[in-house]
Structure 1
Amino acid sequence: MKKLDDIVITGYGIKAPGVLNKPSFLNVLNNGICTQTILKSVNEDQNNIVAGIIDDDFLELNGRNYKRYPRSVRLAISAAMDALEMSGLKDYDPKRVAVIIGTSAGAVLEIEQYSAAYVNYRSFPIHGVSIVDTHTLSTSVAEALGLCGPAFTLTTGCTASIDAVLMGKLLLENGAVDACIVGGSDAPLGSWTINGFKKLRALSTETSIDQAGVPFSSEHQGFVLAEGAGVIVLERRESAQAREQRIYGKIERVMSRNEGQKLLGSDETGRHMLEIFQEVVGNTKPSYVNSQALGMALNDRIERFILMETFSSDVPITSIKGMIGHTFGAAGAMQIISSLLSMEYGFIPPTIKTKGDGFEDIPIVYETRHQAVESVCITTHGSSGNNACLLLTHA
Structure 2
Amino acid sequence: MSKMVVTGYGIKAPNTANIHQFLHHLKNGTCCLEIVTNLSGKHKSTIVGLIDNQTLQPSQDKLYKRLPRTALLGIAAGKEALTYAKIGNTEKKKVGVFFGISVGNIGDYEFQRALVNANQHNEREIPITFGHIGNYHSITSSISYFLGGNDVTKTISTGCTSSLEAIQDAIVYLKSGLIDIAIVGGVDSPISKAAFYSFSKTKVLPINQSLEEGAVPFQSSSKGFAMAEGAGVIVLERDSDALHRGADIFGEIDNIVSNNDGVHIYSLDASGDKMIKALREAVNNRVPDYVNSQALGIQINDRIEKKASKELFNHTVPFTSIKSMIGNPFGAIGIIQVISSLLSINNNFIPPTIRTDKSGYEEMNIAMKPIFKPINEVAITNHGYGGNNASAYIKRYKKEETT
Counterpart code for 2:313: F
Deviations 1:156-182 (A, max 9, x none): 110001000100111100101001111
Is the CA contact (8 Å cut-off) linking 2:213 and 2:221 kept in structure 1?
Answer: no
Query: Residue 210 of structure 1: SS of its match in structure 2?
Result: coil
Residue 133 (structure 1) aligned with residue 130 (structure 2): no
> Structure 1 CA distance, aligned partners of 2:273 and 2:343?
31
> Structure 1 CA distance, aligned partners of 2:325 and 2:219?
15
Is the CA contact (8 Å cut-off) linking 1:76 and 1:231 kept in structure 2?
Answer: yes
> Structure 2 CA distance, aligned partners of 1:231 and 1:142?
12
Match of residue 7 from structure 2: 10
Aligned residues: 392
CA drift at 1:340: 0.8
Match of residue 287 from structure 2: 285
Of stretches 251-260 and 289-298 in structure 1, the one that deviates more from structure 2 is 251-260
Deviations 1:70-107 (A, max 9, x none): 21111111101111111122322376111011111111
Residue 93 (structure 1) aligned with residue 105 (structure 2): no
> Structure 1 CA distance, aligned partners of 2:378 and 2:220?
26
Counterpart code for 1:76: G
Is the CA contact (8 Å cut-off) linking 1:40 and 1:49 kept in structure 2?
Answer: yes
Counterpart code for 1:116: V
- TM-score for the superposition, normalised by structure 1: 0.96
> Structure 2 CA distance, aligned partners of 1:133 and 1:384?
19
Match of residue 32 from structure 2: 35
Is the CA contact (8 Å cut-off) linking 2:46 and 2:205 kept in structure 1?
Answer: no
Match of residue 168 from structure 1: 170
- TM-score for the superposition, normalised by structure 2: 0.94
Pick from 16, 19, 26 the counterpart of residue 23 of structure 2: 26
Match of residue 361 from structure 2: 359
> Structure 2 CA distance, aligned partners of 1:94 and 1:351?
44
Query: Residue 17 of structure 2: SS of its match in structure 1?
Result: coil
CA drift at 1:23: 1.3
Pick from 68, 71, 74 the counterpart of residue 70 of structure 1: 68
> Structure 1 CA distance, aligned partners of 2:285 and 2:326?
32
C-alpha RMSD over aligned residues: 1.5
Deviations 1:12-36 (A, max 9, x none): 1000011111111111000101011
Residue 81 (structure 1) aligned with residue 79 (structure 2): yes
Query: Residue 211 of structure 1: SS of its match in structure 2?
Result: coil
Is the CA contact (8 Å cut-off) linking 2:37 and 2:43 kept in structure 1?
Answer: no
Pick from 262, 265, 287 the counterpart of residue 263 of structure 1: 265
Match of residue 114 from structure 2: 114
Of stretches 321-330 and 200-209 in structure 1, the one that deviates more from structure 2 is 200-209
> Can you give the 5+ residue segments of structure 2 that lack an aligned partner in the other structure?
398-403
Counterpart code for 1:248: F
CA drift at 1:252: 0.5
> Can you give the 5+ residue segments of structure 1 that lack an aligned partner in the other structure?
none
Query: Residue 153 of structure 1: SS of its match in structure 2?
Result: strand
Counterpart code for 1:108: I
Deviations 1:326-363 (A, max 9, x none): 11101111111111110111000111111111111110
- Taking only the aligned residue pairs, the percentage that are identical comes to 39
Is the CA contact (8 Å cut-off) linking 2:159 and 2:386 kept in structure 1?
Answer: no
Match of residue 338 from structure 1: 340
> Structure 2 CA distance, aligned partners of 1:388 and 1:278?
11
